[in-house]
Amino acid sequence: MTAAAKGRIAEFLQPGKRVHLVGIGGVSMRPLGLVLHSMGVQVSGSDMNASASTDDLIAAGIPVAIGHSAENIRGADCLIRTAAARNDNPEISGAREMGIPVFERAQAWGYIMQSYRDAVCIAGTHGKTTTTSMVTHIFMAAGKDPTVMIGGYLPLLGAGHRVGSGDSIILESCEYCDSFLNFFPTTAVVLNVDKDHLDYFKNLEHIKSSFRAFAELTLPNGTIIANADDENTMDALERLPLLTFGTGERADVRGENFSEDFRTFDVTAKGEPYCHIELAVSGKHNAMNALAACAVAYSHGIDGKTAAEALATFTGAGRRMERKGEFGGAVVYDDYAHHPKELKATLETARSMGFHRVICAFQPHTYSRTNALFGDFVEQLKTVDIAVLAEIYAAREQNTVGISSRDLQRAIPGSVYCETLQDVTDTLRMLAQPGDLILTVGAGDIYKAGEALLK
């Protein structure tokens, strides 16, 4: 963000000003609306669909219009848009016609974080929500009273955000459309760098350069924390001063002596014992997330005992291998995985849980991602006993590539294609047997199919 843009947005995020949020029901727009509301800003918003998120906002006293219309923005001093909102959105085009300034969501978070002495920004292609949640547990246990923005629900907070009175802010920091380049981290965390969001990024090298630019935003005397086990991360951040975490010899904060399910292990920091971890969540990916959280704790002078005790209380964030209930003797879980590597981690965890069969109801997220990573999705979905394929969740896109989940179904033996979520629910009801693990997986609304099954 340029100095001029920073100055301009500062004029509007003040008590008494009216700010309208386009796409206010989104995972990081909703907490932004609530944080601005708590600052005394008059907040309104709109979203394409009513949801639990919009219900929460309305309950908090924030008016929300369902559907986008230029009428919704009359009287607003400025607009803040989600990255998914297109320029032809009637509220964005209407604002330009009326001379109302339009800012990006990340610009608003960037402005907010500058009022904190300590800004912990957690980035990476995978694991951001879980790691941000783990760091929040640690900072809360350490009495730091942080302000928090998470792209998901954290039971500890009863929400995906909190407004604290301490001098720390912890933010999940998204790379899509270079959003995190609007931030001012004192601690920049890079969990991993992988090929994703190819509707915006040209290729992996473009993604690497974006993560490097994010790390280089770290303020003087700040810390860049990076995954030493991830080749793309180390390549992207080459020659930058790093505090690393991982399982190999070169990691500064290192995990060792792992149990088979990766729930228990020892952590050393700069060669000295730091803590012994006993997690409530399984899988190597969660162990790596916990190591990243330990690296943040270590860099902030938080003792290992506090970090370990805090991590032991973390039972998962919403939609991250979240146990939803039982149906007909089958146990239903839900997960947000929407990239092949995330899907791989989720399915490996599922297979380690000892169920008779794993039935995965998967909803691909965006046409561009499904098309670009088609073979990788097929490879992972072939590993389950039965794959139930919901139609692709469009999110911000139009289907310009002519792809469908039917294409996945043709490539995955024994899989089932479902045109609607009701079809998914009906199929799961028919398939469920005692001893099964039923997974609903995806970043769209596939969770509704599992919830309907449980009802």
**φ, ψ at 30 (rounded to 5°):** -60, -50
CATH of 116-312, one of 3.40.50.300, 3.30.230.10, 3.40.1190.10, 3.40.50.2300: 3.40.1190.10
Which pLDDT score, from 0 to 100, does residue 53 have? Answer: 85
Of 128, 208, 324, 341, which residue is the catalytic one?
128
For the chain, give every domain's residue range.
Answer: 3-108, 116-312, 322-454
Which pLDDT score, from 0 to 100, does residue 4 have? Answer: 41
Which pLDDT score, from 0 to 100, does residue 22 have? Answer: 97
**φ, ψ at 240 (rounded to 5°):** -85, 150
Which pLDDT score, from 0 to 100, does residue 27 have? Answer: 78
Q: Which residues of the chain have pLDDT under 70?
A: 1-7
Of 54, 91, 147, 172, which residue is the catalytic one?
172
Q: Which residues contact 371 (CB under 8 A, 6 or more apart)?
A: 401, 403
128 carries an active-site annotation: yes
- Domain 3-108 and domain 116-312, same fold? Reply is no
Q: Judge contact between 136 and 166, C-beta under 8 A.
A: no
- DSSP symbol at 283: S
- DSSP symbol at 393: B
**φ, ψ at 18 (rounded to 5°):** -105, 125
CATH of 322-454, one of 3.40.50.620, 3.90.190.20, 3.40.1050.10, 3.40.50.1360: 3.90.190.20
Which pLDDT score, from 0 to 100, does residue 332 have? Answer: 98
Instruction: Summarize pLDDT for 314-357 with one digit per residue, the tens.
Output: 999 988 999 999 999 999 999 999 999 999 999 999 999 999 99
Which pLDDT score, from 0 to 100, does residue 3 have? Answer: 41
172 carries an active-site annotation: yes
Q: How far apart are the first and last CA of the chain?
A: 47
Instruction: Summarize pLDDT for 399-432 with one digit per residue, the tens.
Output: 999 999 999 999 999 999 999 999 999 999 999 9
pTM above 0.75, yes or no: yes
Task: Please state which CATH number belongs to domain 3-108.
Answer: 3.40.50.720
Of 54, 82, 125, 129, which residue is the catalytic one?
129
